Amino acid sequence: MMESTPNLPPNAIEAEEALLGGLLLEQSMIDKLISGSIHLQAEHFFHTPNATIFGLLCRMRDEGRTVDVITATEELKAAGAYDKVGGSRYLTRLFERVGDPGSIPHYAELIVGAFRRRQLERLCLQALRSIKDEQKPGDTEVIRAELESGLIALNTSNGIETPSIGTHLDKYMADYRAYQKRVQAAGHWIPKGITTGLSALDRKTHGLIPGELVILAARPSMGKTSLATQIVTSAALSGKAGVIFSMEMDGPSLVGRMLMSGRELPASKVWEAEATHEEFVAAATARIKPVMHLMHINEIAGIGELKVRAICRQRQSEGKLDWVMLDYLQLMNSDGGDRFANRNLEIGRITGSLKKLARELNVPVLLISQLRRPSNEKANWKPQLSELRDSGAIEQDADQVWFIWRKEFKDKGRNDEPASLDEFRAGIPCWVTVEKNRNGPTGDIPLEFVKAQTRFTVRKKGSGGMQSHNKPREAKQGRLKSFDKWEKEQNF
């Protein structure tokens, strides 16, 4: 009955006219079309006069006015659109198209279906133009990523549901019960997300949460890549697969760090070319073999967000994506095809896209970022959110922001590197500060960075290094008191 008008893009003009005629007779149907699963909008109409009339009827209904042919005619005249839509002749035609008012939802589905086909046609034509454009040969991965993004957008926008708060409550409780069962099965506390391998960090963040964008930031030479690699290696050891986008280091160098992250292969011996074949085999057996098929490294320099998305979708379609790590943000270049007035806008585009990627694929995205170096006069060596380089959108898009920092280097007026081989082998006191946590607490976590193993460990209470913010250590630095007396004074 309702066929597309030939020689035009996909449309359902007859259904548009029948629907509008029905609404002029049955105004209560407007509410069902707008708020229901179809969620009909003026933009769905192909014929411009029909879109104008539908928008006007919706506005009249929203304002509580009666909707019929007489009031609609007066409103069109008042808006100066009466002649533009065809005047009395066209309104009469709408009445001639009226069938069964019960068919109005069906007409709406035909209209939305034609709209989706027009969008799909436009998307495919755009991809064909990009493929055939000899002036701009482009990257086939970027073209494919743009096409995939458009297709996913079409799927996710196919009707707008607004679940009740009860539906969300049921989902929250179901997730909580599933987590509670996991804790009971483990026999001890475990994080909701993917473990970081550092118990204190897990307690503060609940691990890497699916759907969240986590920013790991620090100044140069603080161990950003080491900590991020250690975290995703821990995830892989727990059976979680993922991909590392390494723009700063090549794959062999990154694997080398993984090999030297344990005691099997001392970094000092590798540096002096004294490591034996047996030590390399032992390190590979302990550090690489267990995660061989769970970790993948992409080395594309200056990779863009669209190519990242395409690769991640492919990995997930193969059932091999539980997390994503990118090292690091400032080495990425947007490949969305837009030209940006400044670097801040480009970085904002990239972080926004990575946040959408985390939500879309329901995986945590761990993104390394640089911090600006503070001035020498700066009294507080602890990083601030304002020091995230290039864009305020980084803080805005992130669900969590973690900082790595060390106070000793500022206090001693030294650079960021160990001064001796002993210090190279020993643990360097440092902190990871959870500065932003959208769904949990923030605060400082004392760690030690063993540079010889490129590995972080949780610092034990009473160990050396910078002073903790804990009251017991402050009391210990002051006059001597018995612990019982100090505990009573703190009202524990």
Q: Is residue 426 part of a domain?
A: yes
Same domain, 167 and 126: no
Task: Express each pLDDT in 71-104 by its tens digit.
Answer: 888 888 888 888 888 888 888 888 777 767 778 8
Same domain, 146 and 206: no
Q: Is residue 475 part of a domain?
A: no
Instruction: Tell which of 142, 171, 192 closes a domain.
Output: 192
Helices and strands (H, E) in the chain, number of each type: 20, 9
State the DSSP H helix or E strand holding residue 279, giving kind and residue range, or none if neither.
helix 277-283
What are residue 436's DSSP bridge partners?
401
Q: Is residue 471 part of a domain?
A: no
Q: Which residues of the chain have pLDDT under 50?
A: 1, 379, 410-416, 421, 464-492
Q: What is the predicted pLDDT for the residue at 141?
A: 67
Same domain, 305 and 406: yes
Alpha carbon separation from 75 to 93, 139, 389, 445, 476 (Å, rounded): 18, 51, 53, 65, 80
Alpha carbon separation from 436 to 60, 126, 213, 385 (Å, rounded): 45, 40, 11, 9
Q: What is the predicted pLDDT for the residue at 157?
A: 57
Q: What is the predicted pLDDT for the residue at 482?
A: 41
CATH of the domain at 229: 3.40.50.300
Pick from 12, 15, 187, 209: nearest CA to 94: 15
Task: Give SS3 for 54.
Answer: helix
Q: What is the predicted pLDDT for the residue at 481?
A: 38
Q: Is residue 430 part of a domain?
A: yes
Structural domain including 216 reads: 194-459
Same domain, 185 and 207: no
Q: Name the phi and psi angles at 292, rounded to 5.
A: -50, -45
- 433 CA to centre of own chain: 21
Same domain, 221 and 241: yes
CATH of the domain at 26: 1.10.860.10
Residues 467 and 477: beta-carbon distance below 8 Å: yes
The count of structural domains within the chain is 3
Same domain, 324 and 344: yes
Q: Is residue 453 part of a domain?
A: yes
Q: What is the predicted pLDDT for the residue at 434?
A: 93
Same domain, 125 and 171: no
Same domain, 214 and 268: yes
Same domain, 429 and 454: yes
Q: Is residue 242 part of a domain?
A: yes
Q: Is residue 489 part of a domain?
A: no
Q: Is residue 492 part of a domain?
A: no
Give the up-direction half-sphere exposure of residue 391: CA atoms within 13 A in the CB hemisphere. 22
Question: Crossing angle of helices 251-259/224-237, nearest 10°?
Answer: 70
pTM: 0.65
Same domain, 276 and 170: no
Same domain, 317 and 215: yes
Q: What is the predicted pLDDT for the residue at 417?
A: 53
Same domain, 226 and 358: yes
Task: Express each pLDDT in 227-245 by its tens digit.
Answer: 998 898 888 888 899 999 9
